[in-house]
Amino acid sequence: MAAVVPVIDVMARKVRTVDSGEPVFNALKTIISFEVGCVIVKEGRDVVGIITKGDILRNAVLKDLNIKTLTCKQIMSKPVITIGDRATVEDASRLMSKNDVFKLPVVNDKGELIGVVTSSDLIREEPVHLGYLKELIRARYVPARLRTNPR
């Protein structure tokens, strides 16, 4: 029987955040400066969205919008899907597959942001769990319209 791996064991603890009212330029600068795939968008202490490099490209650059005046709130992915700190790697994989997302902010019982787990983290850390990793990889690389439910 495979060991149950808590999501907190594989998540990144140094989370980069931006305020929802900040310019998208700040989010991009943070992503590039810290070499991360996303920033978490907050309003006060609340997690309200997530911005990836793809979000910036799709929702700002390709639309020829000014990222110095456009706010993070205007392009962030929402509602944000989070996962609790007591969840397992398998739980995270299934949640990502179900919601077609590849990054999950990790929150504690009080709803406070404590980390981020990505599909790459899961794939890197758990190669023995091929069943749900296969599901995650399929969700990541096979377009939704071509997927069939294997169950």
- The domain segmentation of the chain, as residue ranges, is 7-144
pLDDT range class, residue 130, cuts 50, 70, 90 = low
- Is pLDDT of 128 > 60? no
Alpha-carbon distances, residue 10 vs 106, 139, 141 (angstroms): 11, 20, 22
Report the topology of domain 7-144.
CBS-domain (3.10.580)
Q: Find how far residue 70's CA is from the centre of its chain.
A: 21
> How many Cα atoms within 13 Å fall on the side-chain side of residue 58?
8
- Is pLDDT of 1 > 50? no
Give the per-residue pLDDT at 150: 52
- Is pLDDT of 145 > 80? no
Distance CA 135, CA 61 (A): 31
- Is pLDDT of 129 > 60? no
pLDDT in tens, 92-112: 999 999 999 999 999 999 999
| pTM score of the predicted model | 0.79
